[in-house]
Amino acid sequence: MEINKDNNDFENITFDTLPAAVEVILKTVKRLEAEIISIKERLSVVSNENNNENHDELLTFDEAVKFLKITSSTLHRWKREGIIPYRKIGTKKYYKKSDLEEYNKVEIIKPRGLRRF
């Protein structure tokens, strides 16, 4: 008796048809493993592309001010005090988006006089 993988003949497996059934199962498992590996590789590529686009993006001074929703003098002060890291390329300064996102996670505590608002 030949095992047909398309027809759910696995319900009628006998001792004589067991080797054929195991062979069908092994082929199916190998095919599924190959598909899973292929899907993982594609997901990894897409994930890396998204991470590189979002986190390695360099912002100009004005873009960083808008991204952080602060004034330009505040960003100048933070840069001078070393609060926000930046990269200098030629004469321009750039801010890594991932660094700004990390800073945004920090909770800002209001000065004492503003706490009641």
Q: pTM of the entire structure?
A: 0.45
Letter for the amino acid at 72?
A: S
The 3-class SS string of the chain reads CCCCHHHCHHHHCCCCCHHHHHHHHHHHHHHHHHHHHHHHHHHHHHHHHHHHHHHCCEECHHHHHHHHCCCHHHHHHHHHHCCCCCEEECCEEEEEHHHHHHHHHCCCCCCHHHCCC
Q: Which residue has the tokens 């909770």?
A: 107
Bridge partners, 94 (sequence order): 87
Query: What would the pLDDT profile of 59-117 be if each residue is shown by its tens digit?
Result: 999 999 998 889 999 999 999 998 889 998 888 889 998 888 887 776 555 566 555 55
Q: Are 89 and 100 in contact (CB under 8 A)?
A: no
Assess whether pLDDT exceeds 70 at residue 45.
yes
Query: What would the pLDDT profile of 5-17 be if each residue is shown by its tens digit?
Result: 555 567 788 888 9
Query: What would the pLDDT profile of 15-26 be if each residue is shown by its tens digit?
Result: 889 999 999 999
